[in-house]
Chain A
Amino acid sequence: MNKLIIIFLASIFTNNIALTYLLGMCPFISLSRNLKTSLGMGISVIVVVTLTAIINWPVYYFVLIPLHSTILTYIVFIIVIAGTVQLLEMIIEKFFPVLQAVLGIFLPLITVNCIVLAVSLFVILRNYSFLETVFFSFGSAVGWVVAITVVAAIKEKLALTGDIPKKMKGAGITMVIAGIISLSFLGFVGMLAV
């Protein structure tokens, strides 16, 4: 139990997937415009990342390894991810029209988001057990959301003062903010080890 909590906290703070492993940067830069969009994206990311990691773990250990076809890992994983996203889209459309308004536009984007595939791959590379997988994937997704919300909040404030060099606007300034935040997250290093 202790180890699970450590994995969970480490994946949020010391090994934050956005600020340490630099993953999921494309939506990070384009969607951190305001707090509301980044929260909408964040919720979808948490659901999809956790769900796909939970599905990919048994697929890898109970299907791919017994069949000696680990060379197909990537292909199988992305099919699972794309399938899950498609299914989730249909379920939300049918049963939760309220959620559809919030998450509808973000779900298709997630298929090509690298953190989904990255989390599933990290789980395999680090030989996590099933429970560890659940905690790690949930924690990583939460860590990503923490990072994007902080950046979005700072950007919202910054837009008000707005004294940014013209060519630095958009992607440039987002990276400076992300850099400062990741510098401060370095302060967590050494507190927990995965």
Chain B
Amino acid sequence: MNLKKLKYTKGFRTMVNGFWKDNPVFSMVLGICSSLAVSNKVENALAMGAGVTFVLIFSGIFISFLRSVIPNRVRIIVYMIVIAVFVIIVEDVLEAQFPKIAEALGPYVALIITNCIIMGRAEAFAVKNNILHTVIDGFACGLGYSYSLIIIACVREVLAFGTLLNIHVAPPGWHNWVVMAMAPGAFFLFSVYIWITRTLAKVESDKE
């Protein structure tokens, strides 16, 4: 397949949508709880991004595979059980391999279960599409979520701790902005991030 044609395939459009145009964080404003809480350090953001991407892809595969079998009335609870299974896997791996990060993330790993991105993509995409496109969509949305988190985490970690990935970067005489590590800093940076990215991606603002 040549490159020009690739632009019009469904897989490519799905990829671009999840990554930029319909980015879960700044365009659809989903999964905000975890992104606000976990973006205080880059390593936490990396771990969370990887975890969410993993759960998105694999729960997507399962739900897409079972989409003709799941009865409509109980579909939400079926999604949640599928998602919970993968979240348990993520948590066990984190605890075994990266105990420090697992401790810093605390209950927020378990709260991937109620992360609206995963539920939203299952309901809006995985039940209607085949496995291949679901994987592409899960991957794109996961990446879109991860890079948003990492950008915000980079700013917050430098301002709040004077470090980047735990390496000291602040100039001498730097005073840490403690508030950036706490909730208000998260809110302010997030609103600025949404403002900038929505302007760049030309996203329609929500109706008031």
Measured CB to CB, the residues of A under 8 A from B are 19-26, 29-30, 33, 71, 74-75, 78-79, 82, 108, 111-114, 116-118, 121-122, 125, 159, 165-176, 178-180, 182-183, 186
Contacts and interface: CB of A to CB of B under 8 A. Distances in A.
Contact of B188 (A29, A33, A179): A179
5 contacts: A22-B36, A22-B37, A22-B183, A78-B113, A176-B188
A180 B113 CA distance: 29
B188 A175 contact: yes
A167 B81 contact: no
Contacts of A82: 76-77, 80
A82 B114 CA distance: 12
A139 to B, nearest CB: 17
Interface string B100-120: 000000110011011110010
Nearest to A111: B76
B110 A30 contact: no
A71 B85 CA distance: 10
A183 B116 CA distance: 26
Given A25-B36, A167-B195, A179-B191, A75 B184 contact: no
Nearest to A122: B107
B13 to A, nearest CB: 24
Contacts of A169: 205-206, 208
Contacts of A75: 81, 84-85, 88
Interface residues of B, number: 44
Interface of B: 29-34, 36-37, 76-77, 80-81, 84-85, 87-88, 106-107, 110-111, 113-116, 119, 179, 182-188, 190-191, 194-195, 198-199, 203, 205-208
Contacts of A125: 106-107
A118 B33 CA distance: 11
A167 B205 contact: yes
Chain B contact residues: over half helix, strand or loop, or mixed? helix
Contacts of A78: 77, 80-81, 84, 113-114
B194 A171 contact: yes
Contacts of A182: 183-184, 187
Chain A contact residues: over half helix, strand or loop, or mixed? helix
A186 B33 contact: no
B107 to A, nearest CB: 5
Contact of B206 (A79, A170, A183): A170
Contacts of B188: 175-176, 179
A122 to B, nearest CB: 7
B107 A118 contact: yes
A74 B113 contact: yes
A143 B119 CA distance: 26
A29 B32 contact: yes
A116 B113 CA distance: 12
A159 B80 CA distance: 37
A23 B183 CA distance: 11
Contact of A112 (B32, B87, B116): B116
Given A114-B115, A118-B111, A178-B187, A172 B195 contact: yes
Contacts of A172: 191, 194-195, 198
The 3 closest A-B pairs by CB, nearest first: A170-B206, A179-B187, A175-B191
A183 B85 contact: no
